[in-house]
Amino acid sequence: MSNEISSAIWTRIRGRLRDEFGEAAFKSWLNPLSLLEIDDGVVRISVPTRFLRDWVVTHYGERIQSLWSKEDASVTGLDVVVLPTAAKAAQPAAQAAVRPLPAQAAAPCEPVNVNEDIGAPLDPRYTFDNFVVGKPNEFAYAAARRVAESDVVSFNPLFLYGGVGLGKTHLMHAVAWHIRERNPRRSVIYLSAEKFMYRFVRALRFQDTMAFKEQFRSVDVLMIDDVQFIGGKDSTQEEFFHTFNSLVDQGRQIIISADKSPSDLQGMEERLRSRLGCGLVADIHATSYELRLGIIGSKAEQMGVHVPVKVAEFLAHKITSNVRELEGALNRVVAHAQLVGRDITLESTQEVLHDLLRANDRRITIEEIQKKVAEHFNIRVADMHSARRARQVARPRQVAMYLSKQLTSRSLPEIGRKFGGRDHTTVMHAVKKIEELRNGDTSFAEDIELLRRMLES
Ligand code: ADP
Ligand code: MG
């Protein structure tokens, strides 16, 4: 068969592939393919990278071969070989039975958002429009918006942190949606740290870490959710660190979320921690009453139901843990009303939610106290456990011990253990000391009172 005929067949097949798999997939995966030769019934196609080869073989191999066989019955096999672009250019033309068509030679790989295969799907409800902004989250919101709206990297990484159910994932998805809408050609990948880890471990097992790395090479914006899960997994951290650095070096945007600030992430290597914290760190605080009220209003509107003000206020007052639980509570109340065909009332709400409300009559934990107090005095939570004796950490630590004694039913030794394994006499001393200070210093007393109220609210 002449070269011309083979080239013509290849062109037709490429057209078919483009129609079948769509423009985006074609551009990313199929356009870089070049026809090399046909040898003894085997069509040999070259791709520039190994990752691309694996991808093409598993996803399109069968189809390409069957299209060839239909055009030319003597073709019985397909061979996809890796030929780096440079090497291919240097190859003497005579060696290839079929010269690649100029248009397809060394076509650059242009990924167009087919990266859902690597990342996780986005929740269509998690958009900026559906995100209610209030004091506790306005900074994180503004930072996320900024990243979504700008084409240059302004801070890298954007590190979002906050407790569970406060909207971290929502904000990340919102950034991704926004970027995709503005510029569908930018490739945005969102995935959980767990998924990242899983993929890496699998790559290790198949001795294919090169392919793993290449997956992330062409990404414009990489988002990794719940990065605290990487803590303690050394080899994953190592890989993450390298992926992270190479993307940053290439000027790609990275967005990370975690349940703690970079400095409080446990089991993280120091260099990774400091790297994570060197962009913009934005925390989402626990919800305020006003924000909860706003969220209820917004969700009710989305669902198209009328929620009486009294009920909204009641929910905002009682369900304080996080937005996810608040949403769940509202959904239950609405579902119940629709099921029995009656309006939502304060009574029905209390009845439907009685188990939840009891759980939310909450018990304060020592961890919460440590976190709140650390935040209040602007020290690291880790310093609650550390051996540092400097006044600026020792005093807040004593305050936290004192509040733990006041607000929980834990014993002195139990409290001591939670503070880096300190002795119960240390706790006793702290309690005495803070009581003394309270009595002698009104502004200090007010501070403590404020903390107590915050913890109890
Ligand atoms: P996180 O990732 O921080 O654990 P999520 O982003 O999953 O929390 O949020 C939990 C739920 O609460 C989601 O359904 C999300 O849409 C909703 N949510 C959180 N914050 C807000 C907000 N400010 N406005 C509207 N919905 C919110
Ligand atoms: Mg989340």
CATH class of 121-284: alpha beta
pLDDT at 33 over 50: yes
Q: Per-residue DSSP letters for 317-357? A: HH--S-HHHHHHHHHHHHHHHHHHT----HHHHHHHTHHHH
Q: Per-residue DSSP letters for 12-60? A: HHHHHHHHHHHHHHIIIIITT-EEEEEETTEEEEEESSHHHHHHHHHHH
Rounded CA-CA distance 382/270 in Å is 14
Residue 194 Cα to ligand 2 midpoint, Å, equals 12
167 lines ligand 1 (CB under 6 A): yes
Nearest CA to ligand 1 atom 23: 132
Helices then strands (H, E): number in the chain? Answer: 19, 8
Residue 62 Cα to ligand 2 midpoint, Å, equals 38
Q: Per-residue DSSP letters for 120-155? A: -PPPTT-SSTTPPP-GGGHHHHHHHHHHHH-SS--S
> Residue 257 has what pLDDT?
97
Reported confidence tier of residue 251, pLDDT bands at 50, 70, 90: confident
CB 382 within 8 A of CB 372: no
Residue 253 backbone dihedrals phi, psi, to 5 degrees: -85, 135
CB 317 within 8 A of CB 195: no
Rounded CA-CA distance 399/415 in Å is 12
Structure tokens at 374: 């650390």
Q: Per-residue DSSP letters for 382-430? A: GGGTS----HHHHHHHHHHHHHHHHHS---HHHHHHHTTS--HHHHHHH
Residue 165 Cα to ligand 1 midpoint, Å, equals 5
169 lines ligand 1 (CB under 6 A): yes
Residues 6+ apart with CB under 8 A from 348: 333, 336, 337, 342
Neighbours of 88 (CB within 10 A): 16
Taking alpha carbons only, the member of 351, 296, 345 closest to residue 320 is 296
Taking alpha carbons only, the member of 202, 272, 201, 195 closest to residue 241 is 272
CB 296 within 8 A of CB 199: no
165 lines ligand 1 (CB under 6 A): yes
> Residue 36 has what pLDDT?
87
Residue 322 Cα to ligand 1 midpoint, Å, equals 8
> Residue 93 has what pLDDT?
36
CATH number attached to the domain at 366-456: 1.10.1750.10
Residue 241 Cα to ligand 2 midpoint, Å, equals 21
pLDDT in tens, 254-276: 999 999 999 888 888 888 888 89
Q: Which atom of ligand 1 is nearest to the CA of 298?
A: 25
Nearest CA to ligand 1 atom 13: 324
pLDDT in tens, 363-372: 788 999 999 9
Q: Which CATH number fits domain 295-361: 3.40.1190.20, 1.10.8.60, 1.10.760.10, 1.10.3470.10?
A: 1.10.8.60
* pTM for this model (two decimals): 0.60
pLDDT at 94 over 60: no
Reported confidence tier of residue 342, pLDDT bands at 50, 70, 90: very high
pLDDT above 90 covers a percentage of the chain that reads 48
> Residue 457 has what pLDDT?
66
> Residue 287 has what pLDDT?
93
164 lines ligand 1 (CB under 6 A): yes
Residue 126 Cα to ligand 2 midpoint, Å, equals 11
Identify which has the larger pLDDT, 301 or 209: 301
> Residue 422 has what pLDDT?
95
Cα distances (Å, whole numbers) of residue 134 to 131, 289, 371, 387: 10, 10, 21, 37
> Residue 200 has what pLDDT?
79
> Residue 117 has what pLDDT?
61
Identify which has the larger pLDDT, 28 or 299: 299
CA dihedral (140, 144, 145, 151) in degrees, to 10, reads 150
Lowest-confidence region among 22-26, 228-232, 332-336: 22-26
Section 225-247 average pLDDT: 84
Cα distances (Å, whole numbers) of residue 341 to 334, 344, 345: 10, 9, 12
pLDDT in tens, 99-131: 333 333 333 333 333 344 678 888 999 999 999
Identify which has the larger pLDDT, 415 or 113: 415
CA dihedral (259, 262, 267, 271) in degrees, to 10, reads 160
Nearest CA to ligand 1 atom 5: 167
CA angle (188, 191, 195) in 5-degree steps: 145
Nearest CA to ligand 1 atom 6: 167
Which residue type, as a one-letter code, is found at position 85?
T
295 lines ligand 1 (CB under 6 A): yes
- Which listed ligand is nearest to 327 at the C-alpha? 1
> Residue 360 has what pLDDT?
64
80 lines ligand 1 (CB under 6 A): no
pLDDT in tens, 40-66: 889 999 887 766 787 788 778 888 999
Domain borders along the chain are 3-106, 121-284, 295-361, 366-456
Q: Which atom of ligand 1 is nearest to the CA of 259?
A: 3
Lowest-confidence region among 11-25, 117-131, 139-153, 395-409: 11-25
Q: Are strands 34-39 and 42-47 parallel, antiparallel or unpaired?
A: antiparallel
pLDDT at 353 over 80: yes
126 lines ligand 1 (CB under 6 A): yes
pLDDT at 22 over 80: no
Section 424-441 average pLDDT: 93
Quote the DSSP letter at residue 119. S
CATH class of 3-106: alpha beta
Residue 60 Cα to ligand 1 midpoint, Å, equals 38
Greatest mean pLDDT among 192-196, 213-217, 290-294: 290-294
> Residue 85 has what pLDDT?
56
